[in-house]
Structure 1
Amino acid sequence: MVSLAQLSNELGDALRPAAPGPAPGIQLSGVHVSELADPGAYLEGGELLLTTGIPLGGTADAVDDYVRRLAAKGVAALGLGLGEGLDTVPPELVRACSAEGVELLVVPDGVPFLDVSRMFWELASRSDQAGLIANLGTQTALARATMRADALPSVVKGLAQALGGWVAYLPAGDGTEATVWPASALSLLPHLKLETTRLNVAGTHSAATFWLHGTPVVEYPILVGGRIDGFLAIGSGRTLTKADRQIITTVCVLLALKAQQRDELLGTTAVLGSVVAKLIARGQVEAARLVAGDGNLGPLPERVRVLAARIPTADSLPTLAGAVSRLQLADGGSPPAAAVASCILRYDEDAVAYFVLDAGLAQPEPAGLQGDEPDDGGLLAWAGPAVPAGPAGALGSGTADVETAAAWTEPLTLEDVAGAMAALRRAAVAAPAGALVGMAADDEARADAWIATLAAYPRAELLETVAAYLRHQGRWEDASRQLNVHRNSLRHRMAVAERLLGVALDDPDVAAHLWLALRRRGL
């Protein structure tokens, strides 16, 4: 935009105020030349109108009427060219312009109106070029901010500063907090969320404007593949210019690209996590470690708990993690919601979903002490690179709670997972709806858990010891001979094994199930 002060300063004596003093800094929309008595049909408002005085009519009333018509049309200033019809500025014109708030300037004799018009457009060109440079600089800075780890806060802050107002990004789904800058705009969030929810339900795919506390707010949807990922709400407290809208459009594109990259990363991570989980379940632990390392999933935990959950319907897997987190343990507690929701080592097979959980994180939550439900909208690695949250509601709350049931193992080494999978599946299929049962609910599962406990003992080969003892039906001499240890050493090892398992290995039921489990493992 070009101001009247800029134009007057550039032209000097060729365009000077009729009254002593500098020209005001009002913005001009253009320069127009007309000798019509009523040029309003050719004006839009904000112009500097140049005339030689022909329309003034020669009387005070005619002058008043003329200036009144210009003011009604919103003319910013009147430039009177001297020399053709008038040699001086009529006093009645000075009085009328002052009364109507129209600035009056003088173009001296011999100065063509074309000089004024040319200077206006030259200044306008300079202004547009400067605005373009500033605009490009802002867009470049915002593009760089998008590449940062904290991309969303950086972009929101940069846009708010560029527009001189406040900006908020509100995810389309529930559970994820909005990003707002400056902090003083946080008080607007409840009203913004209500309006955003309405727009999201309506599936609005174009910009929308609404009033908030007496000021207009413009909200733009961030679209990813036809899906609304979130909304960018802007309150600038002024009319947005063309340059402002270009910056906002750039930000919307950048945020959409960032969201698309996040979705692609989540998709890749989910596929790799599924592959790693299947390799572990099939006993290919070293291959699982290699894939996890090459896929930047971070180091695998050394001890895990595997959770198996029934999938009620073919299309309920996306909501299953949320449903599992609300199952009930026998003691009234609940599964570790955060560990389940953030688990990336998971896959489904034959209507059962499997979650390989870090045993250090997979601790049951006691009854009455459960925290708020986790945000099921993202998949986070237990270690290694942070994975951004996925599309809002990707896991959701689900409606399959009544039909879902699950079972999980005690802590196992990765090498022991494969041997527990068959029993784990049977326990999950047999579990009552709405419950999460331990492997002890199934005799075979319990025996597999015993084997895992014996195999994990670090100071003696308890698993081989118990296998030899059962193979020889409790005959100490034969078992110790096979193991090549003294009979007293064998007795000590068996006592340690019984203490670890909390059972008597001479009990026929215990011995029978444990022996069958050993045979399934080839021991």
Structure 2
Amino acid sequence: MNAGIPVRWVLSQPELGLALKGGSAGLGRDITLVLTSELTEPQHWLSGGELVLTTGMGLPLSRADRERYLADLDAVGVAAVGFGIGLSHERIPADLVDAADRLGLPLFEVPLPTPFGAITKKVMGRLAEQEYEKVLRASRAQPRMTRAAIQGVRAVIKELSAALSATVIVIGADGAIADAHPRRVPDEIAARLTEFVGTRGDGASSGVIHTASGESIAVQAITAGQTVHGHLAVVAPAALSAVDQVLLGHASSLLALDFEKPARLRIAQNRLNTQALSMLLEEPTELDTVWQHLTPAADRSGRVRALVLRSATPETLTRAVTAVDDQLSTQDRQLFAHVTADRAAILLSGADTDQSAERLLAHLPPATRATLRAGLSAPHPLRRFPAAIDHAELAASAALPGAIPLEPAALAGHALLTFPEARRVLSAVSEAMLQPLIDYDDRHGTDLVASLRAYLEAHGQWEAAATALGVHRHTLRSRITKIESVLGCRLDTARVRAELLLAVIAHR
């Protein structure tokens, strides 16, 4: 920390012959600088922590002004006042002593034989020794922290805490406190840290927080490249010194490396998973070692589902796969993805649902999610995952952009007409097969197409079809005979009925 030398240490140096006269309550104040001043109002040039040495030559004449003189020094944070006697004053004025006691500002007597320079040299020498000790302590602490990094985060913050004699806190990337040493984090400090991290838009801010209790919290972002893994905070009675900040920075770097290890391992694992998936899609093999590589994707029953995402832009697919990977990582699950120019296929557990699949995409920006078509296959045995991908891809081609992943079962009854390619074929077949009936209806004012549809949808049941049309069954029989004549076919053949049913559905 930026601690100086306690006033009591200076008074304890026998060779200086100093004698405390007042303000004993402030003996713990730290001296960071020594200066001599005979000004009547020296406080204008002081910033706190000074030991002011004076012979009283500029001391005000009235008691009230002398008390104000001392109060002004105390107000700017002066650590102590050394009053040299034997020149302008034989002793320290009693009113100054009384004021020093009231203020808790140490006031000591400097005998005539003791030069002010001796006090300055003694204090500044000790300050230099302390700085050297800090550097030496840091040089010893850095290797200890580096060795501790092998054992993980807790070992690193324990070493940093010992080196700084302070509480060290690790805040995770989610803004929550992940670890602390050596004590529990008070609610006030936890709240201030949460507020500090949460209000920084870039997520990588560092800085200093001052608490109501007077403590200083130094916050350092834990970053690796553009990735922010969290923050490291040190809670101390005073602000960190430059040397202490070096130790904080070193610890932050070690933690960043530790946090990066699983991230780098996951990247490598994802790459291997993608290679295995691509190999089995492009060149199916019976090698068990390759298939075993995919087993973490399956549920306990050995089943998988395929989530297929379609987009016209490869960048959107890349962002989507990254978002899915981030969510799977929080669930300690691996990513199995195969990405082409306009499609991303991801293997999920057979136990996943359309809702859980949608949650994997929940953290995408709304504008990005709104452009994605998503399809989700039914559960398949792992070795049939290519079929699962095909089914999910068909569903994705029929899904609405931004909608929850569509399952093939939801297309039952209108699947063929959902897909553009199938719809074009069926429309052409419909036109070719039904045009004679359409022309006949136009010429004669009949309704043979509607009669054909009712008959086919009633599975050839005369009563049901006639009721649906609102005619007598003999009337319907007559119309069906005419339809067979116009089309040149027999409706008692199942295959003919099936083709005509598709034709009339497409015609509608």
Considering the TM-score relative to the shorter chain, is it more than 0.5? Answer: yes
Whether contact under 8 Å (2:142, 2:247) holds in the other structure is yes
The corresponding residue for 1:343 is 334
Pairwise CA distance, 1:47: 2.1
Give the match's secondary structure for 2:345: strand
Matched, 1:119 2:122: yes
CA distance in 2, matches of 1:310, 1:338: 19
Whether contact under 8 Å (1:274, 1:345) holds in the other structure is yes
The corresponding residue for 2:443 is none
Change (3 A) 1:235 1:342: same
CA distance in 1, matches of 2:106, 2:390: 91
Give the match's secondary structure for 1:236: strand
CA distance in 2, matches of 1:67, 1:304: 83
CA distance in 2, matches of 1:83, 1:60: 20
Give the match's secondary structure for 2:13: helix
CA distance in 2, matches of 1:139, 1:356: 45
Pairwise CA distance, 1:79: 1.9
CA distance in 1, matches of 2:328, 2:96: 80
The corresponding residue for 2:97 is 94
Aligned partner letter, 2:351: Q
The corresponding residue for 2:280 is 280
Give the match's secondary structure for 1:110: coil
Change (3 A) 1:38 1:78: same
The corresponding residue for 1:47 is 50
CA distance in 2, matches of 1:347, 1:197: 35
Matched, 1:34 2:37: yes
The corresponding residue for 2:171 is 169
CA distance in 1, matches of 2:198, 2:333: 26
CA distance in 2, matches of 1:435, 1:106: 88
1:408-447 superposed matches below 5 A: 410-413=380-383, 420=387, 424=391, 427-428=394-395, 434-437=405-408
Rg: which structure is higher? 2
| Residue number among 403, 424, 428 corresponding to 2:373 in the alignment | 403
- Unmatched 5+ stretches in structure 1: 326-335, 378-392, 444-508, 510-523
CA distance in 1, matches of 2:356, 2:297: 26
The corresponding residue for 1:9 is 12
RMSD: 5.2
Aligned partner letter, 2:267: G
Aligned partner letter, 1:403: R
CA distance in 2, matches of 1:340, 1:92: 72
The corresponding residue for 1:354 is 345
Q: How many pairs does the alignment contain?
A: 400
The corresponding residue for 2:248 is 248
CA distance in 2, matches of 1:408, 1:83: 99
Aligned partner letter, 1:307: A
1:483-502 superposed matches below 5 A: none
Whether contact under 8 Å (1:320, 1:400) holds in the other structure is no
The corresponding residue for 1:448 is none
Change (3 A) 1:183 1:402: farther
CA distance in 1, matches of 2:61, 2:330: 89
Q: Percent identity?
A: 18
Whether contact under 8 Å (2:146, 2:254) holds in the other structure is yes
Report Cα offsets for 1:189-222 as digits up to 9, x if no partner. 688656644422xx36543567888887665544
Give the match's secondary structure for 1:278: helix
- Unmatched 5+ stretches in structure 2: 417-494, 496-508
CA distance in 1, matches of 2:65, 2:144: 56
1:439-458 superposed matches below 5 A: none
| Residue number among 112, 125, 128 corresponding to 2:131 in the alignment | 128
Pairwise CA distance, 1:7: 1.5
Q: Which has the higher helix share?
A: 2
Report Cα offsets for 1:262-306 as digits up to 9, x if no partner. 54443333222211211122346577947998xxx9999895636
1:109-508 superposed matches below 5 A: 109-149=112-152, 151=153, 162=164, 164-165=166-167, 167-171=169-173, 178-181=177-180, 184-185=185-186, 196-200=197-201, 203=202, 206-207=205-206, 219-226=219-226, 229-232=228-231, 234=233, 236=235, 238-242=237-241, 243-283=243-283, 285=285, 289=289, 305=304, 307=306, 309-314=308-313, 315-318=315-318, 320=320, 342-349=333-340, 351-356=342-347, 362-364=350-352, 399=369, 403-407=373-377, 410-413=380-383, 420=387, 424=391, 427-428=394-395, 434-437=405-408
TM-score if structure 2 supplies the norm length?
A: 0.60
